[in-house]
Structure 1
Amino acid sequence: MTSSSTSSARFPRISTHGVPTRCWCGEGITTFGSSTAENRYRQFYRCEIARDRKTENHLFKWIDEALIEEIRMVDVKHERVAQEITMFEERVMEKVKSEMVRVEHEMSEKRKEKVDLEFARVSQEMKHKLKIATVAMVVVGAIVGIWTSLSA
């Protein structure tokens, strides 16, 4: 099987990969079936102008080879997209992990702050109760002192 995409010497050669949509000259393409013994009934793409201008080299490409090229191009694109998705997933997971660490740190700080506030509140409350108990003990001590001095 041979494949060729050719052009006239007057125009630069333009390589077509995969299924062509236009000839290098800008004209549309048509499909034909080969009538040669070597490639009987084998389908090919041909520039519409090439039917009338046999001396010019316009687009010619076997359909089966064009489809194989197209499949290979799609495979390459598919692989590239799969790699991009994998890289995207990795970046997202890194961001999620770093955000989780940040949130956990923030929660830990807030929890510590609340514990410290509660500790300070309980400490203040205990100091207040201790003052009351101390005053009560001083008053009771004074009463006991007065009582003993009066009883003796």
Structure 2
Amino acid sequence: MSNISGASSGSSSTWRGRVVGVPTVCWCGAQIVGKISKSDPNPYRRYFRCAYAVSNKLMDDNHVFKWVDEALLNEVERLSSEAKTLEQMVKENEIVFDGVEYEKMVFDKGLMKVEKEVFEKVECVFREAKTNMKKMMILVIIGCMIIVGFVKLI
């Protein structure tokens, strides 16, 4: 396979196992770069290629080469499979989810609601007490001033 022609019939090259999905590193340790084919069979088709193979213009080697559309299709298939597995796990957990756990969850929600209501009422009473305390302090100060005023008159 050429780094400029991509003369592959559409399958990705194999290197110590098949590349599944979007490659990130070649087996040689080099990064993967995106290129565009300039060949007649695959004009302007995008592909992934080993940066080492590109820099050395290697052809028909065993470094990573993969068409972008194939890589993305692999990724979609892999993610679809993972989603199906997760859906199955959720369904299995719903079956295992028995009444005791449901009741515990409902109880916890109810408890949180009651705690919130109690907290709000305590806050309201605290604010009211604080307001009343300020009024009392003002009355005490005014009373002291009146007493001091009477004492000075006598």
Contact residue 34 and residue 47 of structure 2 kept, 8 A? yes
Alignment of 1:85-104 (within 5 A): 85-93=90-98, 96=101
Match of 1:19 in 2: 22
Match of 1:63 in 2: 68
Distance in 2 separating the partners of 1:2 and 1:64: 10
Amino acid at match of 1:29: I
Distance in 2 separating the partners of 1:60 and 1:95: 55
Distance in 1 separating the partners of 2:98 and 2:76: 32
Unaligned runs of 5+ in 1: 8-12, 101-152
Alignment of 1:5-84 (within 5 A): 5-7=13-15, 13-51=16-54, 52=56, 54=58, 56-84=61-89
Partner SS, residue 98 of structure 2: helix
Unaligned runs of 5+ in 2: 1-8, 105-154
Percent of pairs with identical residues: 36
Contact residue 12 and residue 19 of structure 2 kept, 8 A? no
- Count how many residue pairs are aligned between Structure 1 and Structure 2: 94
Q: Which has the higher contact order (CA 8 A, sep 6+)?
A: 2
Normalising by structure 1, we get a TM-score of 0.56
Amino acid at match of 1:17: V
Distance in 1 separating the partners of 2:32 and 2:100: 50
| Regions of 4+ moved over 6 Å | none
Normalising by structure 2, we get a TM-score of 0.55
